[in-house]
Amino acid sequence: MRKLLVVLMAFSMLLLLAACGGGGDAVDETAVGGDAARGERLYNQTVIGSASAPGCITCHSLEPDVVLVGPSHAGLASRAGNYVPGMSAEEFLRQSIVDPDAHVVEGFPAGVMYQNYGQDLAAPQIDDLVAFMLTLE
């Protein structure tokens, strides 16, 4: 049922994009399509996803230099595009959510961050989280 819902949502988005796109311009698939306000609400929940995993705010502070479990997310939007050469901030943040050990920030151990957000969160929720995190300058 969940997969069907995700497919229907993706199909609906494609129809919407096609209706609004007009002249056949290519769609930038790396553009952020989430809603930062929804992402902020999700980010601040103590548990998220279908498995009631720890929410972002449980392990990441929004205060500069305050470390809870993971690195502070204060100024994250400004830093995220600099961690991996050739990878945009949006790409880095998205991959950090769905594959947390792909790029571990120096000074923090691999395997600590919950590993299944990519399965437990719907694609629009991930988009929303990324959109919010891109506001953290």
| pLDDT tens, position by position, 53-72 | 999 999 999 999 999 999 99
Q: What digits encode the pLDDT tens for the residues 40-55?
A: 999 999 999 999 999 9
Question: From residue 50, how far is each of 37, 92, 119, 127, 130 by CA, in Å?
Answer: 21, 23, 9, 16, 19
Contact between 126 and 29 under an 8 Å Cβ cutoff? The reply is: no
pLDDT, residue 89, reads: 97
Task: Calculate helix-pair angle for 123-133, 89-98, nearest 10 degrees.
Answer: 130
- The CATH class for the domain spanning 34-133 reads mainly alpha
Confidence of residue 2 (pLDDT cuts 50, 70, 90): very low
- Percent of the chain having pLDDT more than 90? 75
Q: What digits encode the pLDDT tens for the residues 75-90?
A: 999 999 999 999 999 9
pLDDT, residue 97, reads: 98
Contact between 36 and 134 under an 8 Å Cβ cutoff? The reply is: yes
Instruction: Return d(Cα 38, Cα 98) in angstroms, integer.
Output: 18
